[in-house]
Each structure stands twice: as C-alpha cells, then as structure tokens.
Structure 1
C-alpha cells in the first residue's frame, strides 16, 4: 500500500439496510449508527453556496421580456437577435430574461458559428416551464465549429462565460495539509475576501500521491511524460496578513517546495437557466466522432467560468450534447433531463470544483453518461437515472467523484462492448483517487470480474480498455451479474444490499452541521 493515501477510503459497514432509493432522508443520523466514513472524501460542499444555500429566485432583479425586444413565439422568423438584445439589456445591472409560452427560433441560418452569449453576473434565462405548455427554444440548424479541423470547437447555443484572464496571487510559504481551509503566503497575498483563485500544478511529482501505488500503461503518455495535473478552484473567505482563509478546504496535500501556481481568476456569479425546453434538430443515428454535427453541432448550454450558477428544470431533446459546467465552482444541475434522439453526451463537469448534479435523467441513451472530467474535483452526481449507458469519467485526472443512489448501467460501454466511458487513451486513467459509488444500482450490461485497473498488458496494441479508476470505493452496490476484481478496488462493502445512510452526500452534510437545502429533500 502506498504511504500516501490521500483518497484511499476505508469503509466499515457494521449495519446494513435494504431501504430503497425512495426511503426517507430525514433520519440520516439515526440510521448512520455503526458506519464509519471518516476516511471518505468530503463531498458536502458540492453545489450552490458550497452546498448550503437555496437556489435563488431572482427576487429584486429587473425583468426583461423577450417580446419587448421583438421576439415572437410560434412564428417563422428567427428570434436570435431579439433574445440577444434582451440579454444585453439584462447584463447592465443583472436581470431575468423572461420567455413566454411557445416556440422561439434560435438558429434559422446554416453556417452560423456563434450562439447567445452572456458575460455578466446575475443574468437568469427563465421560461414558462419545460412541459407541453411551456417554453421551447428551437435550433433549426446546427452551429459550426470555430476551427473546422477541430470538431470540439463548436460552441454551445447558449454560453455563459467570464473573462479567462488570470493574475498571479502569490506563492506558498508553508505546506498545506489535505482538509486544511487556509493558505500561508510568502509576503502579502494579492487577493481579498470574495476573490476566486485556482491552485494548480502539473508534473510527475504528483504521480505518486494521485496514483496511490498503481502503475500506468506505457501508452498513457500524458501522465508518464508530463505528469498528472491538479486544478482546484476556491473562493477567498478572509485575508489576515499573509494568511488566506478559504470557504472550503483543499482536497490534497500540497508541498510548498513543489511548483504549484496560485492564480486569481474571474467567475460569473449567480447566473441561471430554468424552466424551459431546449430542442435541437439532430435526428441521425449517432456515430461517435463522425463529424462536428454528431459530436457537438446541437449543443445546448455551456456554463464557462461561473460560480454559484445553475441549470434547473430544463429538458433537452434531439441534441448532440445537452449541457456542461467548465472551469466553474459550485455549479448545480437540478431536475434536468435529456430525451428524444440520443447524441454525444448528456450532462458534465469539466475542470470544475464542487459541482452537483441532482435528480437528472437520460431518457435518450446519450453516448457518454453523466461525466466528471478534466481535473474536476469534489463532484456529486445524486440520484441520476439513465437508460443503458453507464457512468462517464472522461480522463485528464478528475478526482473525488461521488455517484450517490444512481440507477443506470455499468462501466465499460454499450451493449456490444464498445467503450463509451470517455477520454483519449493519452489522457488516461479515467479517474484518480476518490471515486465512490454509494448505493449504486446497475440496470444493464452485467460484467463479471470487472477490473478497474486492467492495463491490457496481454493486448499491448489495444488503445482502450475498461474504465480505469484508482482504488474506487463501492458501498451498497446492486448489479446482478457484475463483480469486481478485488485488487482493483479500494474497498467493497455490503454487496447486493443498499446501506444506511441512504445518501452519503446528505449524511456528510449533517455530520458537518450543514443545512440541507430544500431542493435536496424532494
């Protein structure tokens, strides 16, 4: 066993409950007697306001009705310019861009390369609901990639984004312990309360800590040659001399002698999309990486560099990709679903910290399932339900991801074994330490003897293998026909029976004395 076990989890389940997913969540403390979870990553800070606040209703914000700017529902004319004008007006001081019932047309011209852009705090796009009598935002044509040689450069139709500018915040004077909520700088730090920082590093010096004694495949060039990578986004709570206090603790040990960078960054705050139905026009049978249309032509919403922002009660139909948070802090998906024709991906977190996906569904069989990737850390996927596809961990060193009471398929692709769990082989493994499956129910594609660390040494020419994760912890797992190679997991407890507490996420919040938001009690 590696001497550094920052994310290795030791779970001892002494009492087991066969409670269902729909069991009451109000007695987590009582049901938790006999369960020791102290070694688990702390997921309690995930979501809006570091997991403690209610999602805002926008009370006090000015309302900007899209009809007042020229948009007309249910006609044959594009509403793009009118909607962007309403957004521009709301950006001045914050506001709610309000849509009435009916269908609004977002992209009626072939060849466009830009969608709706929001670049200010406190802007909320709100419809009249995502049901039959609600608001529909419809794309007749896909958007085209900004760089034709790069399919992934296609923008989302609705994009929230802050400036990418970064500034040096100073350098560390002392080592930082995992779980510590403050940093000590050399001299006066260049930040103040309320600012946002990234704590980042890239290098082979990270490999030992993040791999926890595991060896890598020779073709995993990024971790072997350049080294692993870490990004954490934090908000500054207070500054006292050279001491910076954070709203939430760091998630791994940091040596001040190693080449860490601390940068001040900009994030949009309190932006949201809610109560509408986003509809693409993707009706082809999906083929992975066939072209830009299939991979990203009809992409719904991208939250890029945001804080305390949300997408709630939004449905997505016939899209290439539904929605994502990138380089964001405390982003929240709530009651969102993908339906219609299955495309490239459903919902994801990329390079984001302490994100939450709660009560979401995939009814369309998207190629990639719910995703935490690209250095994301502290992600919680709570009560997700999906058909056929399983989890997606898209590589480039995500850490500390919790799948809590999810009902979906497995780990290694579709019904005929084609990998759909994500990531270029150069960016593997799929997940570093801290992957926890808690009361997970696998509904399809049983895999006996599944190995989370199969390096395909007997198949050196194969680029891809099963989903790879460093020492995952699996508690209360149900999945007939599936079993795991003992050496590839950190711990397995209560096989075939769900445990109490039903939710690790809610239990940890209660243990930390946090208020559980109303939206998590439904």
Structure 2
C-alpha cells in the first residue's frame, strides 16, 4: 500500500485577507446587510420578503467536508511505468488508458502524471476517448504551471457515426459507471415538504444495499401550472405545454427504518402524492477526481455558434456522468470548445479552473444534477467562451460561485432547472443563455442572483418573461427570479417579472450567499472553504501577473 501525498506547486505568499477585486467592489464599510438575508436568519420577519432556498448543500460531500489533499490508501499508477514518455512526438494515449485500467483492476488508485507534456488523440481514425468507469480513480498531474503536467490533445474528436449531432460528439476524457441505473422503482406513499429529510416508499427491498437514491416526479401538466406561478407560457414551448414539468433530484441515503428512507440532505421539492413521485436506487461513481493538470487543445478557428461538430464539441475535454462526491479542481484549459460537463450527478465540485487561449463554445455545464458546486473560475480566453458557467436540464440545488467571464455571461440552458444560485459572478451580460426553444422556460422558481457584477454595456428594462419576439427565441425566461446586490454596469429590469429585487446597483452583505448559508448551517465557516479561497487567490494572482 503506497501513501501518496498531494504535491502542490509552490505559491507566492498568500495574503491573509481574501477579497473580491478590491478595486472595483465597494468597501464593506459602504455595503449594508441584505434584508432578505436578515429574513433568512430570523433577524427580521417580513412576510413581503420571500424565503431564500438553502443552497448550502452544494458541492463535494454537500459542502460539509473538503476534497482530500492526501490519499493515504490509494496506490499510485505512474503513466510512465505504462509506456508514456513526456515531451516526445509520440502518442501517450494507450499508456494513459493502460494506467487507468490497472488502477481500476486494483479497485482504485492515483493515475499520476509526472511533469512534462503528454500527447493524446494523435491522428485519430475513429472517436476514441479515454474512459474511466470505476470509483476511486484520480487523475493527478504535477501542477498546471510551466513546470507541471500538460496533456496536449493534438487533434479534434471525430463523430462516432455519420451526421452524429454536434452535442453528442465525445469529450476527450469520459467518466461513467458501466452499471446501468436500476429500473426497480418504488412509489412514494407519503407527502413531504421541501426541506424534509425523510420519504416513505411502498417497498423497501430495492434500497437495502443502495447508497444513493433518485426521486422523480413524472411529467405532469397540473404541476406545471403551479411551477409557472400563474405566468403564461409561450405558445411554442412544446414540452411544458404538452407534457408539463418533471422534477428529478438525487440524494445520499443516511439510513432506513421500516419503509422510511432518511436522507443526508433535505428534499429540494415538495412531494405531492397526486403527482405520483417514485424512488429508485441510483448508481454513481464516487471519489473520482481530476486535478493539477493543464489540458491543451488546438482549436484555432474564430468560434461560430453551431457551425459544425468541430466548433461545438470536438475540442472538449472532461465529461463526467453519474458522479457523487467527486471533483475537478486546479486545472487549466487552453484552446478548447468545452472544459467540463457533469450530468446526472450529486454533491460534487468543479473548482479552481483557469481558461485561456482561443475561445470556443462552452465553459462548464452542470446538467440533470443535484447540489453541484461550480466555482473559482476565470475565463481569460480572447473572446470569452460563448456560454459561461451553466446549469440546465432539471438541475437543482446547485451553485455557480465566484466565476469571472468578463466577455460573456453565465448560462441556464433551458429544460426547467429549479432552485439554483449564481453567487458573486462577474460577467459582461445578464446571461448568454442557450437551449432549444421547445424546452424552455430556462429556469423555474428559486433562481437567485447574488452580488452579480456586470462589466458590459448598459441594459435597460431587462425582461425575464417576454411574450413576444421576432423568431422562436424571445429571450431568457425565468419564473420570478430573486436579484440582490446586482451592481457594476447600469442595469434595469421589467420589475413585474422579477420575484424580488433588492439593492440594485449596490453591493450587499453577506458578500457571498453560498458561504454565508454554509456558515449559518454548520455554525462556522468550513476550513476547506477558507483554504480554497486563499489557494485560488494566490493561483489567480500568479497567473494574471504572468500574463501582464
């Protein structure tokens, strides 16, 4: 058994105080405490102020524990021992896959990349991603700096079959469990409220050996009326008009007593028996990570949205599906069409990413997931990734935190996500949203924008629920968003389509809603969060000094 201690590139002195762009954000002495926050903590009790959703459960192990810095019980599988040779002109892909396969046979391990540049996807003749299909596999480099690890994706991915849709083209690294989702569902037989931590099911046998659980409300037209809060749907929103809405959420099981299943995190949605909610075991990879690597692709075209599969997906790097308690952190991505996508996942984190070089299609996207944290990201590409940090497709209870896309905006890519937070984001636009118009609206209730800093042109009378337009895309559509502390470039709203608006043009306290809610729930700020902020500030400062 080998002990592997995480090696971090030496950083310059880390400032004791962590701040957010002190030159541009108002001093704390000039910021006032938000009224909606006071309502949340019980300091005030104003019935006119809506109750904030508790977003603090987002992230690796629900924000309660930090991602490990050491992995004492993981054997190390050095890619050089399997034939990889850095800094030459030959492909290292087979050697990398062989090291991964060996780690999987060992029931887990660190797949380690010593310093140097490794080549993958060299002159491919078919779509051939590197695959990881087991838990406890960590791809670890020697840092993303000049003397660290670079994985160079020499050529773009190919379509798996002729005319494959551009969004289905493989990413370079694919993480997914081989075991399929269970189809043995059980009806939920007791109503429950959002915030409860227990459900009751008609049969308990499917869950006796399960660690994770998926709760689903089938598409329902009656539920859609409630979800839209009385708002009129656009006529071409086929899914919501013809099928209604569906809700899906994932949880980790704490324990089982009789037919009751107790959860480690609270319900995101109300469970109404009339809507036939069901539960089934959820298979996920756990303790999977990617860290301390520079991923270099070679996308050099001026990006054109949906031009072809090459522009949209073929230079994309990490795709994770069905993850729990997993992560990507401390990585750099250059000349890519997409950095990281995570789908059907739970309680995982995407943290500390630097994106540079030629801009492409996507930054990050969390889709069909519950309680995923995306944060501490800086997009320094020449034109900005077309879509910024994103949450879409039934994603709920998730957070985008301290992300900078100064040339673009964040994204909600439609298909009715719910109860998500955009916290301390810096972007030039309100959003750069996407998604097929038939799958709109872009977001249901529970979207909170907290201390959003706009750095682009003035926007007047921004409307979150337009009911007319020149084509089928009539603009961003959100049910009653909560907007607190939006500042920077002048922005005004059609306030009849805003659920709650406070301190427009003024930074508020607490600085970060995610951090404040996590501290409030746990009675103190977790050590991992403070360390992550310090580490990211040093990394970001070092990188920006290098560029200047």
Same fold by TM (over 0.5)?
yes
Q: What does residue 167 of structure 2 align with?
A: 152
2:401 is aligned to: 382
Q: 1:99 aligns with which of 113, 133, 143?
A: 113
Q: Please, which of 265, 268, 271 is the counterpart of residue 251 of structure 1?
A: 268
Provide the C-alpha distance between the structure 2 equivalents of 1:242 and 1:87, rounded to a whole number of angstroms: 40
1:362 to 379, 385, 398: 379
Quote the Cα distance in structure 1 between the aligned partners of 2:175 and 2:74. Answer: 18
> How far 1:337 sits from its partner (Å)?
1.9
SS of the equivalent of 1:97 reads strand
- Give the secondary structure class of the aligned counterpart of 1:334: strand
Output one character per residue of 1:428-483: Cα deviation in whole Å (capped at 9) or x when no partner.
11111111011110011321010011121xx3x51112211110001111033210
**Structure 1 segments unaligned to the other structure (5+ residues):** 1-18, 413-419
Equivalent position of 2:478 in the other structure: 469
| Pairwise CA distance, 1:148 | 3.0
Out of 325, 330, 352, which is 1:335 matched to? 352
Deviation, structure 1 residue 240: 0.1
Which residue of 55, 59, 70 corresponds with 1:43? 55
Query: What residue ranges of structure 2 are gaps of 5+ in the alignment?
Result: 1-18, 42-50, 534-548
The aligned runs of 1:107-118 (5 Å cut-off) are: 107-118=121-132
Structure 1's 438 and 21: CA in aligned 2 closer, same or farther, altered over 3 A? farther
Alignment deviations for residues 214-235 of structure 1 (CA, whole Å, 9 cap, x no partner): 1110011111111112110111
Distance in 2, Cα, partners of 1:444 & 1:101: 39
- Equivalent residue for 1:511? 520
Match of 2:495 in 1: 486
- Is the 8 Å Cα contact of residues 79 and 106 (structure 1) preserved in structure 2? yes
Report what 1:4 is aligned to: none
Q: What secondary structure is seen at the aligned counterpart in 2 of 1:294?
A: helix
The structural deviation recorded for 1:349 is: 0.3
Q: In the alignment, does 2:149 pair up with 1:132?
A: no
Deviation at 1:21?
A: 5.8
**Does structure 1 residue 453 correspond to structure 2 residue 440?**
no
Q: How much has 1:404 moved relative to structure 2?
A: 1.0
State the shift of 1:248 in Å: 0.7
Specify which of 439, 446, 452 is matched with residue 440 of structure 1: 452
RMSD of aligned residue pairs (Cα, Å): 2.2
SS at match of 1:91: helix
Higher relative contact order (CA 8 A, sep 6+): 1
1:55 partner SS? coil
1:178 aligned partner? 194
Task: Give the structure 1 partner of residue 83 of structure 2.
Answer: 70
Partner of 1:161: 176
SS of aligned partner of 1:510: helix
Count of aligned pairs: 492
Moved more, 141-150 or 154-163: 141-150
Moved segments of 4+, more than 4 Å: 19-24, 30-34
* Aligned mate of 1:87, from 77, 100, 104: 100
1:275 is the counterpart of 2:289: no
- Separation in 2, partners of 1:36, 1:276: 43
Greater fraction of residues in helix: 2
Could you tell me how far apart the structure 2 residues matched to 1:218 and 1:32 are?
A: 38
2:128 and 2:157 in contact (8 A); partners too: yes
Deviation at 1:314?
0.6
CA contact (8 A) 1:200 1:260 kept: yes
Residues 317-375 of structure 1, C-alpha deviations (whole Å, 9 max, x = no match): 11111111110001201111211111010011010110001211111201111100011
Name the residue aligned to 1:300. Answer: 317
Q: Deviations over 1:56-85 (max 9, x none)?
A: 132220000000000000001100000000
Spell out, residue by residue over 1:264-287, the C-alpha distance to the aligned partner (whole angstroms, 9 max, x if none): 121000000000010111000111
> Structure 1-normalised TM-score?
0.90
Q: 1:327 to 1:128 in 2, by over 3 A?
A: same
Q: What secondary structure is seen at the aligned counterpart in 1 of 2:281? A: strand
Question: 1:9: which partner in 2?
Answer: none
SS at match of 2:448: strand
**More divergent stretch after superposition (70-79 vs 403-412):** 403-412
Structure-1 separation of matches of 2:484 and 2:244? 31
CA distance 1:209–1:114, change in 2 (3 Å) = farther
Instruction: Call closer, same or farther: CA 1:53–1:514 in 2, change over 3 Å.
Output: farther
Q: CA deviation at 1:406?
A: 1.3
Change (3 A) 1:194 1:45: farther
**Separation in 2 of the partners of 1:403 and 1:288?**
24
